[in-house]
Amino acid sequence: MHIYVHVPFCARRCSYCDFSIAVRRVVPSTQFASAVTREWATWQAHSVWNTSPTIETVYFGGGTPSRLDPIAIQTLLDRIRADRPVGGDAEITLEANPDDITPEAADRWRGAGVNRVSLGVQSFDAGVLAWMHRTHTADQSRAAVATLRRAGIGNVSLDLIFALPPALGGDWPRDLDEAFALEPDHLSLYGLTVETHTPLARWRERGEVLLGDDDAYARDFLKAADRFEREGWDHYEVSNAARPGFRSRHNSAYWRRAPYIGLGPSAHSGFGAERSWNVREWEAWRVRAGAGQSLTAGAEELSPDAVSVENLYLGLRTREGVPAGALDGDQAGTWIAEGWARAEHGRIRLTPEGWLRLDALVGAAK
């Protein structure tokens, strides 16, 4: 079993963000922890525990979980451990912004059981960070990594964004250099996309920003893939790479379609073909939680065909790929001839060039 806790609170909405967040100057940490505890209690009678009794990962995502009072993190982890067995080597991740990292906070997170921090660096360029509406500086990112290391956090991941508008003058190779100079254990790389109802979408509609083309996106992605290979890193999924032995166990569980419970506003849960998701907005979720009402906004059961497509998509986005028999032989042959895939040990694995075409390849293979 894997647990995801969505913490919606942020100091400011980033220009590209369409996640479920609540901008708050004062974070209602105690109220949030109490509401999540009540939601967690409703899951204790679920039949999935019969087949997945042990919790292997807990992931605090957001939003900005580092804005919660560390006492709230401690409270929630203590409650989870009291109710269910948590593996002795469980991966406990907290997403954090660099400007929230203090020695005291890092020590308290570590004391609560957090052993992995995913740091939202995004860029080391001051102009890019301002354009993104980020609230930290590059120096704060560097200081944050050092602080986490001193606190004993032995697994630090950095998030970076590529394929930025050319007018910003960003330097993607330099961002990669800066990231590797900090000696992280893991990197997550995300190509900039325009989501509706975001500041970025409005800027583009008004003609105030011009994004790079597909070729520029591909160049940035392939530069990162080449860097991972030269560094001896494990580029184990389209957007994720790690030092050997430091894959994100939580995210890997999603790609294996392992069972997971989502807690908090907008959080999703999944067990095999079953899916459910919570009310999206914090205030609506809070009111329902306080009244003891259902927090579920919707649910579905995937058809066998949908499960097959999902298995294909999730498998191909990882380094492990899919069994050769999952694809038509001629189709696989074409992918290999084009340099988009390799056949290894009875499996078809996409190359970085293939990953750039993932959606189209899966669409053609359905």
Structural domains present in the chain = 2-255 (3.30.750.200), 305-365 (no CATH)
Q: How far apart are CA 253 and CA 245, in angstroms?
A: 15
CB within 8 A of 268, min separation 6: which ones? 4, 260, 262, 275, 276, 277, 278
**Region 226-251 average pLDDT:** 98
Confidence grade of residue 232 (pLDDT, cut at 50, 70, 90): very high
Q: What is the mean pLDDT of the chain?
A: 96
CB within 8 A of 360, min separation 6: which ones? none
pLDDT in tens, 111-138: 999 999 999 999 999 999 999 999 999 9
The region of weakest confidence among 37-41, 131-135, 223-227, 361-365 is 361-365
- % of the chain with per-residue pLDDT over 70: 100
pLDDT in tens, 261-299: 999 999 999 999 999 999 999 999 999 999 999 999 999
Residue for token digits 């948590």? 86
**Region 60-76 average pLDDT:** 97
Q: How far apart are CA 15 and CA 17, in angstroms?
A: 6
Residue 263: other Cβ atoms inside 10 A: 25
Write the burial class of residue 359 (CB in 10 Å: 0-12 exposed, 13-18 middle, 19+ buried): exposed
pTM score, whole prediction: 0.96
